[in-house]
Structure 1
Amino acid sequence: MIASAVYVFFLTALWQGAIITAATFAAVRIFRIADASSRANIWSMAFFASVVLPFSIFLPGAGIEISPPGDAQEKEFVTLAAPAAYEFFHTSTSGPRRVIGYHDLIAPVFLLFWIAGALWRTTGLALDAAAMEKMRRESVRLSGAKFGLPENTDIRLHASLSSPIAAGLFRPSIILPAAIFEESCDALRGAVAHEFAHVKRGDLVSNCAEAAVLCLFWWNPSLYFIRNAIAENREMACDDHAVMQTKNTGEYASALVSCAERAMTPGLTTHALATSLGVAGGPSGLGRRLARLADGNYTPQKRTARSRLLLAGAAIAAVTTCAAAAAPRVDVKSFAAASPFARAAPRSHSERLGRELVEAVIDDDIARAENLLANGADIDAVLEGDGTPLIAAVNNDCFGFASWLIANGANVDAYARYDETALISAVRNSDAVMVRLLITAGANVNLTAKTETGKLRSPLGEARRQGRREIAQLLISRGAVQ
């Protein structure tokens, strides 16, 4: 069940992330979000929405409907409680049978793939954080006053660094490469002002948070696109701050180029958790930043009007709401009931006996079942995720056990959530022999059961939905009507 939930989560996150990315891209242009700081905030909103939105599969509600294979008339909601919607094949009839769906085969692979990638990303992030802390300890402390900043500003110098960086989640530091002192005073002041702007804006915290989130969502390309957009616009916002401080656009642009060149020098260091003057946003991002600074009409942008920001945010929120409403739903109750924790801890003595009776059915252990009935087990006990003992016998192709349960008084028309009735389960499993047994035992061929989606399902309707013509004809011959 957990693997299936991860599989549904993966697919939902991919298409929702693509929609949010496209909507944000359009909103930035339609509402003319001009300044880089506001664009960074809008893209940060998109990042948050893309991370949270996939969890909408756990919200209550019906979600979208998807027709199962071969179904031209009736649709079924995609939930973990309805594996028939993904039915693929089952084991032979020589023993207990389990219907296997596409998600049963793929979901465990997705889960292992996700865990391996998450461990790999987390390990890399931890190593980068340790290397950054080591570099901070090895650096030389400088006075912030020398750069026109408050005295308590933590500015440091390190020989092997390729570009100025701002780093540190709890103790923000601006670390400068030794080579930067070869630049002009205006270029040096601009570089320091740029990194100080990152500290003041809180970019270090958000940058670390995004990196941590990507440890879990490393497989989602939309988040990488959004994060690159955030990083590029952050850099542009800090470029604007640096230019306003130095009043010398040309010298500052020259410092950008020098830092980018040093970043490509073998043996010099860059870090994923830091904001870096010359390398953040990648080569294409740096090119756009330089082109922006070189534009003869360039002036640091003023903040976009609040009305435009509100309209852009509202548009993205509307798209997010629609994407949440369109998401498939994981049946949380079924998920919890089928979990090993729920099975391991029955809520009462009668439930424990009922659970053991179902396990005896699955193990085809009639002697154990007789002992449980003698000790007070309810032959019609209804258990979340397994149904009744008779339904369990039907779903596991235990014909002999089903006959024994019926002979001992099992109610052939007993209803259980998710499985409906024994007859509907037998029809769903294409088990004509079991269908005949239940009808002979008095099962009502016209008894309808309410599904979790609120629909009424009958044995004949299920046979037609599954395309089981011979079973449908058998039911009609025994009096079934649509």
Structure 2
Amino acid sequence: MMMSLLLAGGVALMALLVLTLISFAFDGFAPARFVRERHDLALTGFLLVPLVFALALQPRAAEPALEVAVSTPGIQQFATGLIEQATAPQIAAQSAADSSASTALTLFSQFPWAEITVAIWVLGGVIALARLISDIIGLNLMRFASRPAKLPEAITLSRKIALRTSSKTLTPLLVGYLRPVVILPAEFRFDARARPVLEHEIAHLVRGDAWTVLGLRLLMVVFWWALPLYALERLISRNRETLCDQQAAIITQSPFELAHALLDTAERIRRAPALALAATPKKSALASRIHHLASPHATQKRTTTMRLALILPLLASTAVIATPHVGAETRHDRYDYSEREDFETPLARAAAHGEIDQVRALLDAGADPDVISEDGTALMAAIYSGHTDIARELVARGANPNIVSPGDGTALITAADLGEDGVVNLLLEMGADPELGISGDGTPLIAAARHGNMRSVDLLLEAGADVNAGMGGDGTPLIGAAQSGQVEIARRLINAGADVNGYLYGDETPLINAAQQGEIEVAELLVESGADLSLTVLATDRYGEQEYRSPLSEARRMNRGDMVRWLEARGAVHNPPAE
């Protein structure tokens, strides 16, 4: 999934580069009077970025079944040299080459590049969001600290709006979303230039620019790394201000008064210190606006067909057609491939896709069924995808059911977790170890108990699985059943000899886990079977500090009110040892 996010981000960035080039080319060559067209084209480019990103995240089309993918673990590259007519010896030779490349690139491929990149993405987004919140708070503080200003009766505006003054700004500002006000510089004079300046801010209000800017800033929180967005944002801002200048000039028929007001603003900026107060516009943007106000068409209304309502659907339709889908492909209804990247060895890929003839051909050519790719062995791939026939074929052809793959466990853990009872039985018959576990995945019995797979629990117990065998971080089978509220599984385990007071450091006891989850029915069964209501054990909190936990303390900590009352009614207490 993380790789899909990064690939979708890359597609969005490429589309953004194209849209930015188009916007700036139009800005440079279009006639000066085409202000709205410049604004709407740049705004469309900005808005298409999340659309392209979302489109790119869609699952990609399934590849032809006989197309064999080859890459090193952790690096999703697929060989293009293998075609349907490839002979078995050619496949074997390719597999040998892959094995050599895999050995050479093991250290590189194991580094979590995707995870680190996504973590940086998220961290940058958090910082950008904090800045946005800080800016909003700063503007509101300026508003609260400002003083009311009275509009002289000689000045008539096209719309009534509250006016305030503040020493914290060098230029007039429209502040607020639901009850906007215009904040003026402390030295603002209500002279002949005041009306066009105020009409400019009213134009912002009428256009809803405050909401537009907020929306763009929120998009930049997510796509802060897309540098062309900042250039587009400046282009949008410059043309937005020019459009409001134009509207003010049309209403007042005083473009030169507004131009003089902008010159005054430029002079104040020149005199301001380097760390000047908030909301100072760029001098280059002021120059562009003054030039436009001085042009003959500054007070002329013009009709344009190149508007956002036309440009956005047109380019959005193009994006829908042209955007490649780089999300993980989906092959089997039972298994969500969006949560796992493609299997990478030819054999594992064929097993995952249910291509039994291709699996046989690869095995005949000498493919090793026990090679561990990014997502486990070919046997694990077949079980994940629900292809029992391929799992049987692999086991019959020598696949080792006891291969351990960190993050995937073993084939037996996978089958027990998914409730594939037939595969569990097959693996046990072929020599799978019913007690072989791995930290993070548990044991087969823990996996079956946690997910309520009764038949798998029975098969594992019949095969000799230790009912009390635990794994740090995964608990014991009875803890797994207690956590997930599997009452009948818990009863089966207790009848098989599970210790109802069994303690595992880091996972505590079955009753403590039932209390944490508020599973009263499981708790009743445990207590009836002899569980100590007040058993208090040593544990570690989220900060690594040691503490003592009991069923009552955990029910309280997790706000399980019904469980707290149930425990207290039966005399449960929190009973840490005396210090």
TM-score by length of 2: 0.50
> How is 1:155-304 mapped onto 2 (pairs within 5 angstroms)?
155-181=163-189, 185-264=191-270, 265-266=272-273, 268-271=276-279, 279=281, 282-295=282-295, 297-304=296-303
**Cα distance change on mapping 1:228 and 1:327 into 2, 3 Å:** farther
Query: What's the offset of the Cα at 1:380?
Result: 10
Is the contact made by 2:55 and 2:320 (CA closer than 8 Å) also made in structure 1? no
Partner Cα distance (2:156, 2:99) in 1: 69
* Structure 1 pair 101–256 and aligned structure 2 pair: CA distance change class (3 A): same
In 2 relative to 1, CA 48–169 (structure 1 residues): closer, same or farther, beyond 3 Å?
Answer: same
Distance 1:384 1:258, change over 3 A: farther
Q: Decide whether aligned partners of structure 1 residues 151 and 315 sit closer, same or farther in structure 2, where only a CA change above 3 A counts.
A: closer
The residue type paired with residue 305 of structure 1 is T
The 5 Å alignment of 1:51-450 reads 51-62=50-61, 71-74=79-82, 90=102, 105-143=112-150, 146=153, 147-149=155-157, 152-181=160-189, 185-264=191-270, 265-266=272-273, 268-271=276-279, 279=281, 282-295=282-295, 297-306=296-305, 312-313=311-312, 315-324=314-323, 326-331=324-329, 333-336=336-339, 382-384=383-385, 396=405, 408=430
Counterpart of 2:278, as a letter, is T
Q: Compared with structure 1, are the counterparts of its residues 160 and 23 closer, same or farther at alpha carbon in structure 2 (3 Å cutoff)?
A: closer
Change in CA separation of 1:29 and 1:318 when aligned onto 2, cut-off 3 Å: farther
- C-alpha distance in 1 between matches for 2:259 and 2:11: 42
Structure number with larger C-alpha Rg: 2
Per-residue deviation, 1:20: 2.5
1:299-344 Cα distance to aligned partner (Å, 9 max, x none): 33534433777765565335423432x3433336312368xxxxxx
CA contact (8 A) 1:87 1:102 kept: no
What is the alpha-carbon distance in structure 1 between the residues aligned to residue 53 and residue 119 of structure 2? 19
Judge conservation of contact 1:164–1:177 (CA < 8 Å) in 2.
Answer: yes
Cα RMSD after superposing both structures: 4.5
Report the Cα offset of residue 160 of structure 1.
2.7
Gaps of 5+ in 2: 72-76, 84-97, 331-335, 342-369, 373-378, 412-425, 433-579
SS in 2 for 1:185: coil
Counterpart CA distance in 1 for 2:380 and 2:58 is: 34
Deviations 1:28-56 (A, max 9, x none): 78997944234323322221111221111
Q: Distance in 1 between matches of 2:99 and 2:55?
A: 25
TM-score, length-normalised on structure 1?
0.59
Gaps in structure 1 of 5+ consecutive residues: 76-85, 93-97, 272-277, 339-360, 364-377, 411-482
CA contact (8 A) 1:23 1:319 kept: no
Q: Kindly, what percent of the aligned residue pairs are identical?
A: 23
In 1, the alpha carbon distance for the partners of 2:110 and 2:29 equals 40
| Residues 427-468 of structure 1 deviation map (CA, whole Å, 9 limit, x = unaligned) | xxxxxxxxxxxxxxxxxxxxxxxxxxxxxxxxxxxxxxxxxx
Which position in structure 1 is the counterpart of 2:19?
A: 20
The question of whether the paired residues in 1 share the 8 Å contact of 2:59 and 2:325 is answered with no
The superposition leaves residues 348-381 of structure 1 with CA deviations (integer Å, 9 ceiling, x where unpaired) of: xxxxxxxxxxxxx999xxxxxxxxxxxxxx9997
Kept in 2: contact 1:20–1:320 (CA 8 A): no
* Larger RCO (CA within 8 A; separation ≥ 6): 1
What's the CA shift for 1:207? Answer: 0.5
- Aligned-partner Cα distance in 2 for 1:195–1:30: 29
**Displacement of 1:88 after TM fit?**
11
Q: Secondary structure at the match of 1:157?
A: strand
* Residue range with higher mean Cα deviation, 33-42 or 247-256: 33-42
How big is each residue's C-alpha offset from its partner over 1:248-307, in whole Å with a ceiling of 9 and x where there is no partner? Answer: 322211211222332451264224xxxxxx61xx33322222222233x34335344337
